[in-house]
Structure 1
Amino acid sequence: MTDSSTTVGVDIGHLSARLRFNPEEGCIWLEGQRMLMLHLTAFASLRRELIDTFGIEVARGLITRMGHASGAADAALARRTKPDMGIRESFMIGPGLHALEGMVAVEPVLLDVDPETGVYAGEWIWRNSAEVDAHLHAYGISAEPVCWALLGYASAFTSAYMGLPVLYREVECRATGAAHCRIIGKPADQWDDAVRDDLHQGFDLADTQAEAGSSWASVCGEPDHPGGWPHDRMVGASAGFVAMMHMVDKVARTDAVVMLIGEPGAGKKSCARLLHKLSARCSKPFVAFNCAALSGDQLDVDLFGVEKSTSASGPQVSRSGRIERANGGTLFLEDVHRLDLRAQTKLLRVLQTGEVERVGGAQPRPVHIRVIASSNARLIDAMRDGSFREDLYYRLTTFPIVIPPLRERRTDLPLLIRHFLDVFSRRYGKKITGVSEMAVGYLLTHDFPGNVTELESMIERAIIMAPNRGPLDVAYLTSPIDERNPRIYGLSNHGLLIPKRDDGGARHDTGALDRLLDSKFELESFENELIARAVERAAGNLSKAAKALGLTRPQLAYRYRKVQEGAPGAQSGDLRTD
């Protein structure tokens, strides 16, 4: 098994450490998935509303399919760990995640699992089922088992993990008066027809496999060519991203002028390339021109072209400008608000007449181009203060598309991180085994003022610095010229929300430390008492006690021996070594 400090697609041990809380942004993350905390009373109310409105059978089907979706999503984590874990250990991630999510505590009674041969037999005890509590709260004792979402989760998780339909049946349920809930599971074809139909509840292996396969790599897809990912690739699944892509899809196949509005680094040029790629002009040139790069005569020559002439500086050769070179294709004008007024007037004439006139020329030349422009929010201010022509503004904003900043589409971060990991791992010939806990926390809580461009540069820098076949650590992400303190929160051993340090550990309560210092305690006796208590709680198991103290077993054995040797009346035979 790999080091427990890595997470993305590697080790999922210490599951609670994989939780990341960002209260300022209203986000909770479990590895790369956004999570949601829900009051049990709210779930109970929803459950009762479904039952009372649609009847128990319809409600059961809906709630079971909700469990399917959750189980399939968690199966993606377990499937990615299989190369680095034993089969049983990776399979147990599902029950562990179910417990972490507050649904139920799971105890295995029987587990025989082998995805290679398709062998599966499982029997499990469920304790503290949240679904039972919800049902008892609303209806009291039931005549039938009520853990519908839990069964759906178990079926979908196991089926996605195994690659064949596996169904579970709840043979005991606390809601019916049993001491605990108990389920048994086996492949669907091993149940008789009546039971299989009853347990199915809309279960579809194909859907489950598709959801379980929605890891970052599969969502991003494979590279279009061996050289890596295309520059016009857009990656995301957030509401803002989907809304933007809906607008792109609407206008891409037309010749309408498009204005892309967004912050620097948000992806305006990638969006422009995508619009060109999806248009009927995709086989024609895509010509980009940065309006902030030149000004005056140089801008006019580069954009509109120049006719052969003789000037004080010598003869000038005729050449076409960017507009003519884009003939038949797409002209992308970056930072169009930076155009000077003379160039604005000439550009407006091109849009109105479909003709371009070179500098020093008298004969207009016909051009058939599709114009895509980009700017930021300052374009409106420029139009209002007179530095940008109002008539040109309305020509260019025929179809505006707003590209949201990365901070407004945080749910896209896992997809983008995986995308750039693949891009730069291929480019620099490195294999990255995972992303450390603190690196994940840093990325999920960083503000990204530079948007996607900043994330891209951050991942590229980290790939360069990270060792081959090693994890990507937070130290490789941060820049010495742009230090920011990430707002990262995790769970303590007692389930408390606490800030996390860069070394991955939780900060100690400074108030408690102050009280210790004020009590005139002796450090040596305090350490001895702590060691003795840790060994006592572990029932003499030094390995378990060492883990609780953050020590290795040899370190604890040495210190514990010293403690026992210093105890009054201690004899050498009193020392226990497990």
Structure 2
Amino acid sequence: MKTTKADSGETEWFGVDVEDLSARLRFNPHDAHIWLENERMLLLHVEAFAVMRQELIERLGIDAARQVFGHIGATAGARDAAIARKASPRAGALEAFKTGPRLHAIEGMCAPEEISLDVDATAGMLSGEWIWRNSAEAEAHLRAIGPSSEPVCWTMLGYASAYSSAFMGHPIVFREVECRAMGAPHCRTIAKPAALWEADAEHGRSLGFKLTPDTPAGAKPAHDHGTNKDRDEDWSDREADLLAGKLGIVRRLAGLDEPVLLLGEHGVGKRRLARAIHRLGQRSAGPFLAISCARSEAADLEIDLFGREKSGDQPARPGRIERLKGGTLVLEDIETLSHRLQARLLHLLAEGVVERSGGGQPRSADVRIIACATHDLQRAVREGSFRTDLYYRLGMLPIPLPPLRERREELPRLIRHFTDHFATRHARRIQGMSIEAMDYLLSHDYPGNIVELEAMLGRAVIMAPDDGVIQISHLLSAADPSPPSFFRLSEGGALVHPEAPDPLLDLDAQARHMIRGNFSIEAFEAELVRRAVSQARGNLSQAARLLGITRAQLAYRYARIKGPAADE
């Protein structure tokens, strides 16, 4: 499928609506979070970017700095490839691919102008030529270093190469042949499959990062969801990092055999973290057992854990601790333990032996104890209902787990993780998530923590149509009455809160503008046309029906709004 500059118009950007993409950019000033789809973003001054560039070049040399910035760009490009697929799940390969240049513009890197583009989605081949106007990277280089004898848009080249490679599933390399830093009016780039560049040494050296057929930065192609086996392994191997953000601590504790205390609200993932400690530790070949100390009477729990000697008609019964040789025992809700069981547990930790109820000889116990508790444990210690010596014995290696509402930066990974897990588990194909659904997930307070999020996404994957998009109605049995607290970008680039009144529908405001002479019928009509085209996702015929006019009338007005490039 091939397009040229002369072809640009409505069909070229079908499904790539700037307002729709901008709506995926959300601001939460209260939590200092900026999200693009489900990726956390960071606003950076161009002057600060210039200083960073100067420091890296002076400290590392220009070749090493080129590779660093190339890697940074490649990481961003691979991420945006996934966002592009979500933004245009129903679009064809060409239309969906063109989301990337729009995202690059929204992110402030450059204003790309397509000269030519040839895409063969079946073969995974892409070639083309672009003008990059207003390159922020070239501007930063000129501020920091001054004019250059070679192209300097290293981050943008890494981005474009990685984005295209991830999208096509084959290595695509961009080269910059003209650059503002070299005195050209704009930057100009050419893209070809990597194999063709190897046979053509005309366009200078590469950025130094490796593009493999699997993807540039080690991720899978944006259109490849992987095999079921890969995702089942992923669920196990990445569980600690995704669900607790404590993989470094887990690895540090893996070689030890001391008790661990996990502190946090219900549902924050204490049991999952305990399982990760067991799985990555030296007892991974042994059994793993989790018991809630609040689930039964103290006497029953005592026999279950410590066992009993033979008494009358009752046979001897070894306890769980005895039977877990070489394994790990997780004691949940440990703050509910009776004083008697606290004393017996302290004896086990101090002496490494267990005595069955009813007497008998002490027996050696080969088990690691991981205790889980809420913050009620600390109150119980202060009030004297939980032994101080046992608390400190268990708390030699404490790991606090904050509630999910205090670690929102983990939400995108968790959302992807659970969505992929349940899609694999239930053999469902999910194309993505609506903006409203993502808004809700990123702004919800999660009183049930990770367990609540897991249940939401499990329900959503089941309820969403196969090969469809998750909507907010699929997440909840009843919509949350609290609107999301995110700000979004209006078409004019202003921050708008969801609760703010729509100025177009605010009759009082429009009447005031009329009285003061500030009302423009042309601007009002243009806004109506833009909104209709946006709601129809670029389909002019459908937009015309929404407004009750003919397609020709709408196309004329839309072309006048968009300028000469709009297709009539």
TM interval, shorter chain, is: 0.7 to 0.9
1:122 to 121, 124, 128: 128
Larger radius of gyration: 1
Residue pair 1:531, 1:560 contacting (<8 A) in 2 also? no
**Aligned counterpart, 2:301:** 299
Residue pair 2:75, 2:162 contacting (<8 A) in 1 also? yes
**Aligned counterpart, 1:515:** 509
Residue pair 2:16, 2:98 contacting (<8 A) in 1 also? no
Distance 1:415 1:406 in 2: 12
Paired residues for 1:54-73 under 5 Å: 54-73=60-79
Once the two structures are aligned, what percentage of the paired residues are identical?
46
Listed one character per residue, the Cα deviations across residues 216-258 of structure 1 (whole Å, up to 9, x for unaligned) are 9669983448xx966x9615459x71xx212212223432212
2:220 to 213, 222, 230: 213
SS at match of 1:324: helix
Distance 1:97 1:562 in 2: 31
**Aligned counterpart, 1:495:** 493
Residue pair 1:106, 1:125 contacting (<8 A) in 2 also? yes
Q: Unpaired runs of 5+ in structure 1? A: 1-10, 564-577
1:222 to 221, 227, 230: 230
Residue pair 1:235, 1:415 contacting (<8 A) in 2 also? no
Residue pair 1:260, 1:375 contacting (<8 A) in 2 also? yes
SS at match of 2:230: coil
Distance 1:487 1:291 in 2: 39
Q: Which amino acid aligns with 2:230?
A: E
Q: Which amino acid aligns with 2:114?
A: P
Following superposition, the deviation at residue 204 of structure 1 comes to 0.7
Distance 1:334 1:420, change over 3 A: same
SS at match of 1:209: coil
Paired residues for 1:418-433 under 5 Å: 418-428=416-426, 430-433=428-431
SS at match of 1:205: coil
What RMSD, in angstroms, separates the aligned Cα atoms of the two structures? 3.9
| Higher mean displacement: 92-101 or 111-120 | 111-120
| Higher mean displacement: 154-163 or 554-563 | 554-563
Distance 1:96 1:211, change over 3 A: farther
**Aligned counterpart, 1:250:** 252
Distance 1:199 1:354, change over 3 A: same
- Pairs aligned (count): 532
Listed one character per residue, the Cα deviations across residues 516-559 of structure 1 (whole Å, up to 9, x for unaligned) are 345687xxxx9987775569x89xxx979987999731242449
Distance 1:486 1:327, change over 3 A: same
Listed one character per residue, the Cα deviations across residues 267-303 of structure 1 (whole Å, up to 9, x for unaligned) are 1111222222334433433232211223443332333
TM-score (norm 2): 0.81
**Aligned counterpart, 2:7:** none
Residue pair 1:103, 1:130 contacting (<8 A) in 2 also? yes
| Higher mean displacement: 76-85 or 444-453 | 76-85
Distance 1:48 1:264, change over 3 A: same
Distance 2:461 2:75 in 1: 33
SS at match of 1:36: coil
Distance 1:326 1:348 in 2: 18
Distance 1:461 1:82 in 2: 24
Q: Which amino acid aligns with 2:547?
A: L
SS at match of 2:115: strand
Distance 1:211 1:33, change over 3 A: farther
**Aligned counterpart, 2:278:** 276
**Aligned counterpart, 1:262:** 264
Residue pair 1:88, 1:113 contacting (<8 A) in 2 also? yes
Listed one character per residue, the Cα deviations across residues 549-575 of structure 1 (whole Å, up to 9, x for unaligned) are 997312424499999xxxxxxxxxxxx
Distance 1:136 1:456 in 2: 48
Residue pair 2:306, 2:321 contacting (<8 A) in 1 also? yes
**Aligned counterpart, 1:234:** 239
**Aligned counterpart, 1:322:** 320
**Aligned counterpart, 1:355:** 353
Following superposition, the deviation at residue 402 of structure 1 comes to 2.7
| Higher mean displacement: 382-391 or 134-143 | 134-143
| Higher mean displacement: 127-136 or 187-196 | 187-196
Distance 2:265 2:199 in 1: 58
Q: Which amino acid aligns with 2:220?
A: G
Following superposition, the deviation at residue 401 of structure 1 comes to 2.4
Q: Which amino acid aligns with 1:389?
A: R
Distance 1:285 1:389, change over 3 A: same
TM-score (norm 1): 0.79
Distance 1:192 1:429 in 2: 41
Following superposition, the deviation at residue 55 of structure 1 comes to 4.5
Distance 1:543 1:209, change over 3 A: closer
Following superposition, the deviation at residue 361 of structure 1 comes to 3.2
Distance 2:534 2:409 in 1: 38
**Aligned counterpart, 1:437:** 435
Distance 2:452 2:178 in 1: 54
Distance 1:350 1:217, change over 3 A: farther
**Aligned counterpart, 1:345:** 343
**Aligned counterpart, 1:448:** 446
Distance 1:433 1:187 in 2: 27
**Aligned counterpart, 1:400:** 398
Following superposition, the deviation at residue 190 of structure 1 comes to 3.3
Residue pair 1:296, 1:340 contacting (<8 A) in 2 also? yes
Distance 1:343 1:233, change over 3 A: farther
Listed one character per residue, the Cα deviations across residues 166-219 of structure 1 (whole Å, up to 9, x for unaligned) are 333333333344332222222344347794783312121139534442879669
1:42 aligns with 2:48: yes
Q: Which amino acid aligns with 1:351?
A: L
Following superposition, the deviation at residue 389 of structure 1 comes to 1.5
